[in-house]
Structure 1
């Protein structure tokens, strides 16, 4: 039997309507004002770090640490499940209907579909379960404990997606890739065919210049 073609989907803003991890950790911060106060007090240090490309991720990591401080891994996982229930009960759809339809079409055609995302793994898994996509393989970011909170362990973003997918049994090249973001250029370079989902102008220009071809655009978020 021949090996099924591998199709890689990004998650946030490709299959979903928003940045799921960002929304989750912001929710954790807002629910307890003292956590927000910790971030505000650190702003004199965080703002200069945000201004520099090579340190821009540090303020985000600090915010995640503040949101998770004092919480166990089990408690965070339970909060992720509760958050998934909450957003699925809200007025705004979590998943993009056209994205889910495209993913299911690939499955129906016998393709091997895998989702590779920078979202935190337990959160992405909880959201996929509520959409009925729990059986789709997921390669996602992980956290590790640090000084009473949690920080990034492996961030499934950009170049990191390549080895993380390979470790899970999905080495390049891939047949098709779907993404919304220029950070996934390494993914596109290793895919025979690729699509951009409602890309921003700057993103579109950079990817087309780098790939030296016109992008195939899917306006799922613009529909």
Structure 2
């Protein structure tokens, strides 16, 4: 559908009720106490990095490396699938019903919908399949092996979303974008229309100030 309108949805906290990758990797750390203990030992070194914008993401990357150390690609993919199975076997709904309904409305209208997310691709895909959205194109983060663990390869976040979407045949400008976070400002700048899903007050202020316009807010998370 080369002439269709492209509609970009963020994933975490836009279509979902929680940050999926964070919950997944926390679960991996907790599965084996030694991993969590190693992270706690490293905290005095990692915590100060959170105060500096340039190094703010390093503690999270270290946590992901510790959570994945010693695990093969096949083992990681199996763990992602098992996590998705457990999420949908539980009582707490992952997907936000109004958000999914809106996504499906776009599909019915003939729009070309794509999900762009910082979540790890195998995990996001497994969750989408469980949620009945497995047919929706997905552009997501990837990991690469490093010293026995896994670290970020392509992080589908902020400015990075633009070339990653373009590489998958969804180059800007886009007709519509949905997100919950000001990290997606680059995405919004290239979208003819956009909506914020239950943004925090700080997020709302940042985006409205940066784009010099009032946001359309969708209170889908209550």
1:48 CA displacement:
0.9
1:51 CA displacement:
1.5
Give the corresponding residue for 1:193.
193
1:159 CA displacement:
0.2
- TM value normalised by structure 2: 0.99
Q: How far apart in 2 are the matches of 1:123 and 1:218?
A: 26
- CA change 1:46–1:175 in 2 (3 A) is same
Q: Give a deviation string over 1:57-79, Cα, whole Å, max 9, x none.
A: 00000000000000000100000
1:53 CA displacement:
1.2
Give the corresponding residue for 2:117.
117
1:89 CA displacement:
1.1
Give the corresponding residue for 1:204.
204
1:170 CA displacement:
0.1
Q: How far apart in 2 are the matches of 1:9 and 1:151?
A: 25
Instruction: Write out aligned runs for 1:113-152 (5 A).
Output: 113-152=113-152
Give the corresponding residue for 2:63.
63
Instruction: Write out aligned runs for 1:161-172 (5 A).
Output: 161-172=161-172
Q: Which moved more, 1:35-44 or 1:1-10?
A: 1-10
Q: Give a deviation string over 1:141-189, Cα, whole Å, max 9, x none.
A: 0000000000000000000000000000000000000000000000000
Q: Which segments of 5 or more consecutive residues in structure 2 lack a partner in the other structure? A: none
Q: How far apart in 1 are the matches of 2:35 and 2:99?
A: 35
Q: How far apart in 2 are the matches of 1:146 and 1:50?
A: 22
Residue correspondences, number: 222
Q: How far apart in 1 are the matches of 2:93 and 2:109?
A: 26
Give the corresponding residue for 2:15.
15
Give the corresponding residue for 2:83.
83
1:109 CA displacement:
0.5
List structure 1 segments (4+ residues) > 6 angstroms apart after TM superposition. none
1:2 CA displacement:
6.4
Q: How far apart in 1 are the matches of 2:121 and 2:29?
A: 19
Aligned partner of residue 26 in structure 2, secondary structure: helix
C-alpha RMSD of matched pairs (Å): 0.8
Give the corresponding residue for 2:158.
158
- CA change 1:167–1:2 in 2 (3 A) is closer
Give the corresponding residue for 2:97.
97
Give the corresponding residue for 2:217.
217
- CA change 1:192–1:42 in 2 (3 A) is same
Q: How far apart in 2 are the matches of 1:218 and 1:211?
A: 18
